[in-house]
Structure formats: structure tokens, C-alpha cells
Amino acid sequence: MNRTGGTSPARIRRRDAMRQLLHGYHLRDSVSLAPRAPIGDALAAGTQAAVAALIVLPLALLSPWPHLVGFASLGALVALFARFAPAAQRRAQMLRVALLQVGSVAAMSMTAWLGLGLELQLLVLALLCGVFFLACEAGRFGAPGPLIFVFAASASMAPALSTTQLLERIAVTAVAALVAWLVCALSDPARRRRVSMVSPAAGAPAQWRFVVGRIIVGTAAAAFVTHAAGAAYPGWAAMGALAVLQAARMHLGLQRALQRVVGTAIGALLVGCLLAMQPSAWTIIGVLALVQVATELVIGRNYAIGQVLVTPMALLMTALATPAAAGSAMVAERVVDTVAGAVIGLVVWVLLSSERDRLHLQLHHSEQTAGRQ
């Protein structure tokens, strides 16, 4: 026994960790609300993202390349990053984020251009999950983190691409990212000046390597399992696994899984009702702008509430890019893939957990059970 009264780190087995993850207090913690951030800061960040979208999406639709509007929306997402950093620091960070976003589209599009099959593309996607996690931790970009880059990479998967299509995708994403950067650079002086609130690094580089390896395994497992089951968007399952595996602690990963599943289910129901009305592309753009502002106002309070709005954003962007696929099947698969990815990610974390991971879970469990006595 250690001084905390729990099992010594060497004797905390994976089955013990799984049993501790099944306690009901995790559900209670997943519905708790964080302190409200100043509404002005959240409103400013959401407005910047919405303005960027309202500029690049109509321009894409009115251009000779309206079929690339989905990639324009991916580039505009750059505006979501480094929202609490000082203006000068944010401009530099956003340039690096823009390079990563364009790089994600370019890397996955090149796999299609090279003629790689879906299985190899999924493997590349899993590797990119690890790369983007590491880049976000090293760059200290903060929320929304690597999921945005993985979403862009997943959306870039295709059976085949010509050289022209490859270059068009990269160019449109880059131009949209540049517009987002300009919108934020021009409007940042009006934001309230605050100290940086980006997420701290996860730990030492050695620990990063361990986490990156677990992320690659978990996201690959989620993608391949759902692909084998016939999923049309196995990348969504990889994203569900990544959302769990990128958490700093195992119990936080479980809370993130619960929040993502519940929020996604509710958000999918809402967007399903909207898509059933067969809205025009212009209506979808307007809803996207409103959702981006609303998301920034609530996501800091609780991740599940944020997912209620993030899910419509992702599905509406997919509907813009591929209108023929915008139906009930796509909406339902978003929920199924999210559940599968979250479950597989959590299982992989337990199986590949370190003694440090299980010790932190044991200490958290001891604190929670002692507090209830």
C-alpha cells in the first residue's frame, strides 16, 4: 500500500482501471459546468470565425469552382485558433496553424493523387493524428487542437485525384486560410487584451512519444474497425478516438467520450431536421456562421454542450462539400462512428496505459470516493 491508501503503482492492473472507469461519478463530472469565461472574448472569437466563413464561402460558391466550397470552409477554420493569445503572438501562431491546415489537405489529397487505396489512406490518417497532436502540443496552439486538422485530412480522402484537382484543393484551402488570418489580424486590436490561455504542453518529449504512439494505434483501430463494418466515413471514428486519447488523464478521456457521444447525438438530431428541409447552400452558410458564434459562447462551459453545436457545423460543412450525401444516413453514421471511436479509443487507452496513467486514475478514484464518504 502507498501513503495515499491506494494500491501501489506496480499493482494497479488494467482490469482495475477499467473497473474504476465504470463508477457513476464520472457521469456526474461529465455534466459539470466550468466557470464562464468573459463573454466578450468568446463573442469576439466566434465573430471572427463567422466573418471569415461569410467571406470565403460565398466567394467559393460564386467562383468557377463552387465544388471546392468545402475546402474553403476548412481553410476558414484557422480563425478558431490561438483566440486568447496576445495579438502579435496570435498572428505568428495562426500562420503556423494555416500551414498545418493546408498541409493536412495536401498530404491526404496526395495519397489519393498517388492512387493509394482506402486502407492505406486510413493508415496515413492515423499517422497524421499523431503528428498533429504532437504539433499542437509543441506549438501550444490551444483549442480546438488537432481535431480540426484531422477533420480536414479526413474530408480530403478520395478514391482518386488528378493533378489539377490536387492543386485546386491546396490553393482554395490556402486562400481561405489567408483570408481568415487577415480577418483576425485586422480585428484583433479590438479584442480585450488578455494573457495567453493556450493549453500547456502535455509533458516531456519522451512522454509525448508514448502518447503519440497510443494515438496512432487507437485512431487506426477505430478507423479500420468501422471501415470493416461498412462505414462510409471511417475518419469520423478516428476523430472520436482522438478526442478521447488526447486528454491529459484517463478519467478526463472518459468524460470527453461521454460528452462527445451525448453532444453528437443531440447535434445530429438537430442537423437532421434541418437537412430534411433541403436548405439551399446560402442557408447552410448562414447557419454555419451563427453556429460558429454560438459554439464559442458555450463550449468552454461544457464539452457536451459544445458538441451539440460542433456536430451541425461538421455535418453542414460536409453537406456543402458533397450535397448528394447530405441525408439521414450521413447524420446517423456520424453518431455511430462517434460512439465506436470513443469506445475503441478508451479501450486502447486502458490496454496501452502506463503505470503513471493508472496511478493518476487510482488517485483520482480515491479522492472521489473519499469525498463521498
Report the Cα–Cα distance between both ends of the chain, in Å, rounded: 20
Spatial CA neighbour of 86 closest among 193, 180, 190, 200:
193
pLDDT at position 176 is 97
For 4-61, write each residue's pLDDT tens digit: 444 444 567 887 777 777 776 767 777 777 776 667 777 888 899 999 999 999 999 9
Rounded mean pLDDT, 250-279: 91
Residue 95 CB neighbour total at 10 angstroms: 15
Question: Across the chain, what does the average pLDDT equal?
Answer: 86
Distance CA 26, CA 257 (A): 11
Distance CA 239, CA 187 (A): 31
Spatial CA neighbour of 60 closest among 142, 164, 168, 161:
168
State the pLDDT confidence band at 2, using cuts at 50, 70 and 90: very low
Provide the residue ranges of all domains of the chain, joining segments of one domain with +.
9-371
